[in-house]
Amino acid sequence: MKRGFVILSLGLLAAALGYCCVYVTATSSARSLQKSDQPELAWLKQEFNLSDAEFKRVSELHAAYLPKCHEMCRQIDTQNAQLQKLLADTTNVTPEIDTALAETARLRSECQRMMLRHFFQVSQTMPSEQGRRYLSWVTRKAFLPDYGMNEQP
Amino acid sequence: MKTNQPGDNDEALRKVLREWHTDASLPPRFQEEVWRRIERAQAPVALSAWAVMIHWIGVVLPRPALAASYVAVLLAIGVTVGWAQARQETARVKDELGQRYVRVLDPYQAPRR
């Protein structure tokens, strides 16, 4: 009887050990991505097979783009707050609201132009095939109505 | 099989039985009760699932071939489940990081401070 229970436990132990070994090994790359300083850039490097030189250039472009992006965020927030204020004070479409809506549309257009410029620059630093794949994926994510959130790279 | 042949031994018993009389009355449905008890005693005992498992662990599992197969199968199950879950988790992390990359770059998706 004792021998039977030892074998039973051995089987369960083997299953647990097999599970842990494979799980830890197979998720190590994902864990290392998450632990890196900039996980999204580390992911980009891995996903699009970038060399160190290409990755350095992409990181520089990324770093140069971020302040512009933050400034755009600030302008969008200000414009949205102004539009909300105007909408709260009226029941008709006034000339001020027209102007605010036009400014909101202009900001959106400028924001998309800026993003697109950045995406093209990044894609041009990649090998051509990867660059095409990157551009196709990132524009789907950034420009489709649902931001392409259900699409795979 | 031993059969009861009429003989000297039985003759004495038969004589006693012929002369034996009792005034005690049998309880109601005596014969029926006796048969019921016989049937109950002869009925096969239904083993519980627990008893079957204990029997299997104690008697069947220790057989070397079965024990080796059992451990191998459980190891294979563990490895397969671990691999499948790791694959799922890796895909989830990569998808999340891809979305994060776009959120960082798109002012309309960027998290506001």
pLDDT single digits (tens) B61-104: 889 999 999 999 999 999 999 999 999 999 999 999 999 999 99
Placement of tokens 């649902």 in the chain: A146
Which of A33, A138, A147 is nearest residue B97 as measured by Cβ atoms?
A33
Placement of tokens 């005693």 in the chain: B41
Residue A36 phi/psi, 5-degree rounding, is -70, 165
In a mutational test of the A interface, the residue from B54, B97, B104, B112 whose CB has the highest number of chain A CBs within 10 Å is B97
pLDDT single digits (tens) A51-75: 999 999 999 999 999 999 889 889 9
Q: Do B71 and A11 touch (CB under 8 A)?
A: yes
User: How large is the ipTM?
Assistant: 0.83
Q: Do A12 and B74 touch (CB under 8 A)?
A: yes
Q: Using CA atoms, how far apart are residues B71 and A78, in angstroms rounded to an integer?
A: 65
- CA torsion sign for B77, B80, B85, B88 is negative
Q: Using CA atoms, how far apart are residues A117 and A77, in angstroms rounded to an integer?
A: 22
| B52 interfaces chain A, CB cutoff of 8 Å | no
Q: B4: pLDDT confidence band, cut at 50, 70 and 90?
A: low
Output DSSP code: residue B56.
I
Q: B11: pLDDT confidence band, cut at 50, 70 and 90?
A: confident
* Chain B contact set for A44 (CB, 8 A): 101
Which of A30, A77, A142 is nearest residue B94 as measured by Cβ atoms?
A30
| A146 interfaces chain B, CB cutoff of 8 Å | no
Q: Nearest-CA residue of chain A relative to B54?
A: A1
DSSP-H helix ranges across chain B: 8-19, 30-42, 49-55, 64-105
In chain A, % of residues over pLDDT 70? 94
Tell which residue, A120, A127, A104, has the closest CA to residue A65: A120
Which of B58, B75, B82 is nearest residue A23 as measured by Cβ atoms?
B82
Q: Do A18 and B82 touch (CB under 8 A)?
A: yes
The answer to whether the beta carbons of residues B81 and A21 sit under 8 Å apart is no
* Chain A contact set for B58 (CB, 8 A): 1, 4
pTM of the model: 0.69
Domain ranges of chain A: 1-35, 37-143
pLDDT single digits (tens) B16-56: 888 887 778 888 888 888 998 888 888 777 778 888 888 88
- Dihedral of CA atoms A39, A130, A113, A97 in degrees, nearest 10, equals -60
* Chain B contact set for A11 (CB, 8 A): 70-71, 73-75
> CA A140, A142, A148: angle at the middle one, nearest 5?
45
Instruction: Give domain A37-143's CATH architecture.
Output: Up-down Bundle (1.20)
pLDDT single digits (tens) A22-58: 999 999 999 999 999 899 999 999 999 999 999 999 9
Q: Nearest-CA residue of chain A relative to B55?
A: A1
